[in-house]
Amino acid sequence: MNNFEFIPYNYMKISDLFLLFLVSVSLTSCISREDEQFRIGVSQCSQDEWRDKMNAEMQREAMLSHEISLEIRSADDDSRKQKEDIQYFIENKVDLLIVSPNEAGEVTPAVDKAFDAGIPVIVVDRNVTGDKYTAFISADNVQIGFIQGQYVADNLKSGDKVIEIKGLTGSTPAMER
């Protein structure tokens, strides 16, 4: 038996955050006109099973409220496209922007621009290099990397070789782990 111990990390699921947001919008909807919708733009860095699940959870929660309009765009692993998507959301004056940056350095200026335009920005999973966002939701990637390294060190035998598989070089989870 090895000494590996799984340490769960605490962070709110995006659907939990979204539900919290729906409640706050519902509470404030009493003072707004009935024909107005709270517009949420989501800029995903890519499309994969995990992000598809996240998108489906947000769409499900948005369907529960007539006051919420949700639009999701995927950059398909292209930082240039993601910057264009964020600019689209700025120009269309969304009330909230949720972003999972493809590459921190490349996407940060667009996120800064949205924040400077007065749009609350929630950065999810992958971080940006600046501090112009309203909230950041992610796992503790440094701790995850430590746990992974400890597991390998505890189970490595003399002469064994290790191959490291990395994520996208410019993504913060890859850098932190």
Q: Which pLDDT tens digit goes with each residue over 76-90?
A: 999 999 999 999 999
Q: Could you give all domains of the chain from N- to C-terminal order, each with its CATH number? A: 14-22+35-137 (3.40.50.2300), 141-176 (no CATH)
Provide the pLDDT for residue 7: 39
Q: With contact defined as beta carbons under 8 Å apart, do 58 and 14 qualify?
A: yes
Q: Percentage of the chain with pLDDT > 90?
A: 36
Task: Residue 74: name the closest of 53, 94, 48, 97 by CA.
Answer: 48
**Eight-state DSSP code of residue 8:** P
Spatial separation of the C-alpha atoms in residues 140 and 11, rounded to whole Å: 9
Q: Report the C-alpha gap between 62 and 37 in whole angstroms.
A: 11
Full-model pTM:
0.69
Segments of the chain with pLDDT less than 70: 1-35, 138-142, 144, 166-177
